[in-house]
Chains A and B, each alone.
Chain A
Amino acid sequence: MYSPLLVKPMREELTSAGFEELLSAEDVDRFVANKEGTALLVINSVCGCAAGMARPGVRLALEHGKTPDRLGTVFAGQEAEATARARGAFPEIPPSSPSMALFKEGELVHFVPRHRIEGHSLEALAQDLTQAFDQFCA
């Protein structure tokens, strides 16, 4: 496990953009149980090969006109129980991190797996997300 000191700024890249950190399975249960409106759940991770673009890409997407009602994040490799519970919200999808899941009224409507983040620009990721926001968010 990486040092909490190393991970702290990676957490803050999302929390400073309005994400709620889901640190326990109970936190995830509460977040997922709320089926009102739209919610974006980001599985954060350390690896710079993909996550280095993921966090700025998400932040850029949130500057878009339409955005999800609620924002939540778990940190893979840091909060194992919370991450496993979050992945349980979309059990048919193979686990990867970083990754992003958009829910509308409790239903998974858009998913961005790791391989669609790695090697792409933050603008490309932001465009992927904003297209989904336009389609599903009010």
Chain B
Amino acid sequence: MGTFHQNKSELHGITVVVDTAGPEIYVGRCDDMDDARVILLDVDVHNDGDGGRSKDEYVRKAAQFGVWKKHDQLVLDRAQVTSVRRLSEL
């Protein structure tokens, strides 16, 4: 038994990796997304090269146990987003 959330995107409630055309990559729980924006909850952001880690290295570590959130919510401009993938599939 669980709760249900209607009228949201199919990725609602799923932890996703949102890559961008810039240096930023985000991991968070998708609340909703459409043609204009991606809304993430409990979000961590990594900048390519920060801490000596590439985007790929950051995602590999995130896929093991998850991420420490830096933001409760972020709204990303869909025009800057190059991909939205499930963390569990990476």
Contact = CB atoms under 8 A, between A and B. Distances in A.
Interface in A103-134: 111, 113-116, 118-120
- The majority secondary structure among interface residues of chain B is loop
A80 interface: no
Interface residues of A, number: 24
B7 interface: no
Contacts of B67: 94
Contacts, number: 57
Interface stretch (A19-27, A32-40, A41-49, A64-72): A41-49
Contact of B13 (A6, A13, A50): A50
24 contacts: A10-B1, A10-B2, A47-B2, A48-B2, A48-B13, A49-B2, A49-B5, A49-B14, A50-B13, A52-B2, A94-B65, A94-B66, A94-B68, A111-B65, A113-B65, A113-B66, A114-B66, A115-B66, A115-B86, A115-B88, A118-B15, A119-B14, A119-B86, A120-B88
A41 B67 CA distance: 20
A9 interface: yes
B43 to A, nearest CB: 12
Interface residues of B, number: 18
Given A47-B3, A48-B4, A93-B65, A119 B12 contact: no
